[in-house]
Amino acid sequence: MLIKKTVFKKLKDDGEHIKKGTIIAEIYGRIQAILSAERTALNFLGHLSGIATLTEKFVKITKASKIQITDTRKTHPLLRTVEKYAVRVGGGTSHRMNLAEYFLIKDNHLDILMKKEKIKSAIEFAITKIKNRNRGSKKIEIEVENLEEFKRALKLKPDIIMLDNMNIKSIKKAILWRKKLNPCVKIEISGGVSLSNIKKLSSLDIDYISIGMLTHSPKSIDVSMKINKGTQINKGTQY
């Protein structure tokens, strides 16, 4: 059969569970064209499948809670959109596609403000200035590294406060303060999250757990391509 173009026939849907040895797609077309794209396509598919698989492991552990497992901006160049899609396929959520999507005040931003504006507290300065300009059009999130910074930020009522690399004891104190002073503010945990400690974190009264390893270091799923044994290779045309 003469096939002039490459045809991809999907046999499994994104997010569908598969066993080892399962055929997930069939490809028909010129053998030269198929082989020239084989390795790139398999690397791509294996990487994204690894992201979805790892995400699902975290989601399963936290499914009994209200916590959302989210990705971060720690993605590979030019692959952010598809890597974040793979996280959603695995049951996670995406927020903060980039810094412009909503206001994210990070530690570097605060350090720069301290030096530039010559102020004692960059947290109050940053949140107040953004609120005056923003008028509620975008969410405001601020990253804090200790309880003192958390308490300052909490009083100013941002939408989300990210607790960066805080230990469990500090996180629990922050949760109590949030409940007492401003229960509407959401809490995000980030930094050092792994499959070994996610269960302990999932028992806490928090809203988000953002995990960089979902996209920057998942284990790739082994995907391979096999030529059908009944295929006849002639005149440069193949399936």
CATH number of the domain enclosing 195? 3.20.20.70
- The pTM of the full predicted model, rounded to 2 decimals, is 0.88
Is a pLDDT exceeding 50 seen at residue 239?
no
Q: What is the mean pLDDT of residues 186-207?
A: 95
238 pLDDT band (50/70/90 cuts)? very low
Residue 52 near residue 15, CB atoms below 8 Å: yes
pLDDT band at 1 (very low <50, low <70, confident <90, very high): low
**What does the pLDDT average to over 217-225?**
94
- Can you say whether residue 157 is alpha, beta or left, with left for phi > 0 and alpha for psi between -120 and 50 degrees? left
Dist. CA 209–CA 134, nearest whole Å? 26
Report if residue 107 sits inside a domain. Answer: yes
- Whether residue 133 lies inside any domain: the answer is yes
**pLDDT one-digit tens code per residue, 132-182:** 887 767 899 999 999 999 999 999 999 999 999 999 999 999 999 999 999
How far is CA 87 from its chain centroid? 6
- Give the model's pLDDT for residue 233: 52
Which structural domain, as residue segments, surrounds residue 198? 53-216
Tokens of 60: 């399963």
| Residue 153 placed within a domain | yes
Whether 95 maps to a domain, the answer reads: yes
- 4 domain-assigned: no
Q: How far is CA 11 from the centre of its chain?
A: 27
Distance, CA of 129 to chain centre: 29
CB 209 within 8 A of CB 221: no
Q: What is the pLDDT of residue 100?
A: 80
- Dist. CA 46–CA 58, nearest whole Å: 19
Listing DSSP states for 127-192 in one string gives: HHHHHHHHTTSS-EEEEESSHHHHHHHHHT--SEEEEES--HHHHHHHHHHHHHH-TTSEEEEESS
- Domain assignment present for residue 34? The answer is no
Give the pLDDT score at 163. 97
pLDDT at 223: 94
Task: Evaluate whether 143 touches 106 at the Cβ level (below 8 Å).
Answer: yes
At residue 235, does pLDDT exceed 70? no
Confidence of residue 236 (pLDDT cuts 50, 70, 90): very low
Number of domains in the chain: 1
Task: Look at residue 106 and tell me if it is in a domain.
Answer: yes
**Catalytically active residues, by annotation:** 39, 74, 106, 143, 164
pLDDT higher at 112 or 53: 53
User: Does any domain span residue 235?
Assistant: no
